[in-house]
Amino acid sequence: MAKFLQLAASRAFTTSLQRLRNVFTVSDSETFMEKVLNNDVPVIVNFHAEWCDPCKLLTPKLEELVVPLPGIDLAIIDVESCPELVQAFEVKAVPAVIAVRSGLVVDKFIGLVDAQNIEDFIKKLSKQMQTNAT
Protein backbone atom coordinates (compact mmCIF):
# COMPACT_ATOMS: atom_id res chain seq x y z
CA MET A 1 0.00 0.00 0.00
CA ALA A 2 2.82 2.40 0.87
CA LYS A 3 4.47 1.75 -2.51
CA PHE A 4 1.18 2.54 -4.27
CA LEU A 5 0.82 5.84 -2.38
CA GLN A 6 4.43 6.73 -3.18
CA LEU A 7 3.84 6.00 -6.88
CA ALA A 8 0.61 8.03 -6.89
CA ALA A 9 2.36 10.96 -5.20
CA SER A 10 5.21 10.75 -7.70
CA ARG A 11 2.78 10.86 -10.64
CA ALA A 12 0.92 13.80 -9.12
CA PHE A 13 4.20 15.65 -8.59
CA THR A 14 5.34 14.94 -12.17
CA THR A 15 1.99 16.12 -13.52
CA SER A 16 2.24 19.26 -11.37
CA LEU A 17 5.72 19.98 -12.72
CA GLN A 18 4.55 19.49 -16.28
CA ARG A 19 1.54 21.74 -15.62
CA LEU A 20 3.86 24.42 -14.29
CA ARG A 21 6.06 24.07 -17.33
CA ASN A 22 3.53 24.55 -20.11
CA VAL A 23 0.47 26.12 -18.46
CA PHE A 24 0.88 29.54 -16.91
CA THR A 25 -1.05 32.63 -15.92
CA VAL A 26 -0.29 36.00 -17.48
CA SER A 27 -0.97 38.96 -15.22
CA ASP A 28 0.77 41.81 -17.06
CA SER A 29 2.16 42.92 -20.42
CA GLU A 30 5.75 42.18 -19.44
CA THR A 31 4.96 38.54 -18.66
CA PHE A 32 2.96 38.31 -21.90
CA MET A 33 5.91 39.60 -23.89
CA GLU A 34 8.33 37.22 -22.19
CA LYS A 35 6.26 34.03 -22.08
CA VAL A 36 4.01 34.38 -25.14
CA LEU A 37 5.49 36.63 -27.79
CA ASN A 38 9.11 35.58 -27.18
CA ASN A 39 8.36 31.90 -26.65
CA ASP A 40 10.13 29.31 -28.81
CA VAL A 41 7.01 27.13 -28.93
CA PRO A 42 3.47 28.03 -29.99
CA VAL A 43 1.23 29.36 -27.24
CA ILE A 44 -2.52 29.07 -26.93
CA VAL A 45 -3.74 32.19 -25.14
CA ASN A 46 -7.02 31.82 -23.26
CA PHE A 47 -8.68 35.14 -22.38
CA HIS A 48 -11.23 34.32 -19.70
CA ALA A 49 -13.10 35.80 -16.73
CA GLU A 50 -13.96 34.32 -13.35
CA TRP A 51 -17.65 35.30 -13.77
CA CYS A 52 -17.91 33.62 -17.20
CA ASP A 53 -19.63 30.22 -17.07
CA PRO A 54 -18.43 29.09 -20.54
CA CYS A 55 -14.87 30.00 -19.45
CA LYS A 56 -15.24 27.69 -16.46
CA LEU A 57 -15.85 24.84 -18.91
CA LEU A 58 -13.31 25.79 -21.56
CA THR A 59 -10.25 26.48 -19.39
CA PRO A 60 -10.07 22.99 -17.82
CA LYS A 61 -10.62 21.39 -21.25
CA LEU A 62 -7.76 23.41 -22.75
CA GLU A 63 -5.53 22.43 -19.82
CA GLU A 64 -6.47 18.77 -20.23
CA LEU A 65 -5.55 18.82 -23.92
CA VAL A 66 -2.40 20.97 -23.71
CA VAL A 67 -0.66 19.58 -20.60
CA PRO A 68 0.40 16.29 -22.28
CA LEU A 69 1.82 18.13 -25.32
CA PRO A 70 5.50 18.99 -25.01
CA GLY A 71 5.56 21.52 -27.87
CA ILE A 72 2.65 23.83 -27.00
CA ASP A 73 2.12 26.14 -24.04
CA LEU A 74 -1.12 27.51 -22.61
CA ALA A 75 -1.32 31.05 -21.27
CA ILE A 76 -4.35 31.97 -19.20
CA ILE A 77 -5.29 35.64 -18.97
CA ASP A 78 -8.03 37.02 -16.74
CA VAL A 79 -9.56 39.91 -18.70
CA GLU A 80 -10.29 41.78 -15.47
CA SER A 81 -6.62 41.96 -14.52
CA CYS A 82 -5.12 42.67 -17.97
CA PRO A 83 -7.21 45.37 -19.68
CA GLU A 84 -4.24 46.48 -21.79
CA LEU A 85 -3.94 43.01 -23.36
CA VAL A 86 -7.71 42.83 -23.85
CA GLN A 87 -7.55 46.12 -25.73
CA ALA A 88 -4.44 45.19 -27.71
CA PHE A 89 -6.02 41.95 -28.94
CA GLU A 90 -9.48 43.49 -29.36
CA VAL A 91 -11.15 40.92 -27.12
CA LYS A 92 -14.85 41.78 -27.22
CA ALA A 93 -16.23 38.59 -25.65
CA VAL A 94 -14.99 35.76 -23.47
CA PRO A 95 -13.84 33.14 -23.76
CA ALA A 96 -11.54 34.24 -26.54
CA VAL A 97 -8.69 31.97 -27.56
CA ILE A 98 -5.80 32.88 -29.82
CA ALA A 99 -2.86 30.83 -31.08
CA VAL A 100 0.47 32.64 -31.15
CA ARG A 101 3.52 31.34 -32.98
CA SER A 102 6.77 33.29 -33.36
CA GLY A 103 5.08 36.36 -31.90
CA LEU A 104 2.23 36.35 -34.43
CA VAL A 105 -1.44 35.43 -34.04
CA VAL A 106 -2.01 32.49 -36.38
CA ASP A 107 -5.51 31.34 -35.39
CA LYS A 108 -8.35 32.14 -32.99
CA PHE A 109 -11.85 31.29 -31.84
CA ILE A 110 -14.38 33.03 -29.66
CA GLY A 111 -16.90 31.42 -27.35
CA LEU A 112 -17.37 27.92 -26.08
CA VAL A 113 -16.78 25.39 -28.83
CA ASP A 114 -17.07 21.62 -28.69
CA ALA A 115 -14.16 19.37 -27.75
CA GLN A 116 -13.55 18.27 -31.34
CA ASN A 117 -13.12 21.89 -32.49
CA ILE A 118 -10.64 22.50 -29.68
CA GLU A 119 -8.70 19.37 -30.61
CA ASP A 120 -8.67 20.45 -34.27
CA PHE A 121 -7.46 23.92 -33.25
CA ILE A 122 -4.57 22.38 -31.30
CA LYS A 123 -3.74 19.86 -34.07
CA LYS A 124 -3.65 22.67 -36.64
CA LEU A 125 -1.22 24.60 -34.45
CA SER A 126 0.91 21.46 -33.98
CA LYS A 127 0.99 20.85 -37.74
CA GLN A 128 2.01 24.46 -38.36
CA MET A 129 4.80 23.96 -35.85
CA GLN A 130 5.98 20.75 -37.57
CA THR A 131 5.80 22.40 -41.01
CA ASN A 132 7.98 25.29 -39.83
CA ALA A 133 10.49 22.90 -38.25
CA THR A 134 11.16 21.13 -41.55
| Catalytic residue numbers, as ranges | 52, 55
SS3 track for the chain:
CHHHHHHHHHHHHHHHHHHHHHEEEECCHHHHHHHHHCCCCCEEEEEECCCCHHHHHHHHHHHHHHCCCCCCEEEEEECCCCHHHHHHCCCCCCCEEEEEECCEEEEEEECCCCHHHHHHHHHHHHHHHHHHHC
